[in-house]
Amino acid sequence: PDRYAVIGHPVDHSRSPDIHRLFAEQCGQVMEYTRLPAPTDGFERVAGEFFGAGGAGLNVTLPFKLAAAEFADRLTERAERAGAVNTLKTTPNGLLGDNTDGAGLVADLVDNLGATVAGRHVLILGAGGAVRGVVPSLLAAGAARITIANRSIDKARAIATACAGMGEVIACGLDALPEDADLVINAISAGLTEGTMPALNPRILARAGAVYDMIYADAPTPFLRWAAEHGVAAGRDGFGMLVEQAAESFALWRGMRPSTKAVMDTLRGPAT
Ligand code: ATR
């Protein structure tokens, strides 16, 4: 069977093998999908060996998305814009790098949460690698303005500058947050490890119809709990984004797009 894997450091808790196994069953595809751990300085070697041994495609997770963009022979337009690659595919004319993270986020926001992106002001909290990948897709989905707010404002500015030609992108610090955003997306990782978010002004929710946390967990995330306490109950965590970006990768590899709903229900387990 064609062989696929998710490469990362660490990668042992990745849900991607389960997701792709269910996609393959649903679409009648015979394929193998495993976890491929690599040391932080060993992406090129491990990925090179995988493709050298006939591997068909890789998903790329932290911290290798930039290295994967360098490694690919060609990039899709959206990977080029994101400056990062989460999907690699062998093709007759070399290794193709794509980025399905942004499309995955937009699909989960619009199709599953029922949020509107087109014409709206989107506030993103955080400016890590995950944000770099999704801003171009939010602009492509018609966002009228994106504000990137980060503790280190320089990182928010760098993303805003890189995306300047694609739409209106503004940078600010966590102490000067806008209060007119229609949608607030969290990409600050602190909530996950420490169980706490940095103090945020609840006024950022004043006009927000929905919130989204790009981080996911078994229980409602600290950010989603905080938003609910301040009156915004419509929210989702990043598990849907994970499944949607996987569906986009699967479509690139196998030429057919699986239905995501059933897979989310199966893997999510009992409602949290
Ligand atoms: P990812 O690639 O998942 O986005 P990352 O690149 O490590 O992860 O980014 C983590 C984000 O969480 C950054 O925006 C980081 O802010 P800084 O750029 O200022 O470091 C943010 N973050 C992490 N811990 C934080 C904390 N305690 N308070 C505020 N922001 C925090």
Catalytic residues: 65
CA angle 27, 6, 68 (to 5 degrees): 120
At residue 191, the pLDDT reads 60
Radius of gyration of the chain (CA): 18
ipTM exceeds 0.90, yes or no: yes
Q: Is 102 annotated as a binding residue?
A: no
CA atoms of 57 and 87, how far apart (whole Å): 7
* Domains present along the chain, CATH in parentheses: 2-101+240-268 (3.40.50.10860), 116-233 (3.40.50.720)
Which atom in ligand 1 lies closest to the alpha carbon of residue 132?
4
Q: Among 47-56, 59-68, 111-120, 211-220, which is the least confidently predicted range? A: 211-220
Cα-to-centroid distance, 190 and ligand 1 (Å): 7
- Report which of 175, 136, 179, 134 is spatially closest to residue 152, judged by C-alpha positions: 175
Cα-to-centroid distance, 126 and ligand 1 (Å): 6
Q: Are 79 and 98 in contact (CB under 8 A)?
A: yes
Q: Are 60 and 87 in contact (CB under 8 A)?
A: yes
Q: What are the φ/ψ torsions at residue 38 (nearest 5 degrees)?
A: -140, 145
**pLDDT tens digits for 217-256?**
888 899 999 999 999 999 999 999 999 999 999 999 999 9
Which atom in ligand 1 lies closest to the alpha carbon of residue 189?
12
Tokens 């978010």, residue located? 197
User: Which residues sit with their C-beta closer than 6 Å to ligand 1?
Assistant: 62, 126-131, 150-152, 155, 187-190, 198
Which atom in ligand 1 lies closest to the alpha carbon of residue 125?
14
Amino acid present at 110: V
The answer to whether residue 122 scores a pLDDT higher than 90 is yes
Cα-to-centroid distance, 127 and ligand 1 (Å): 7
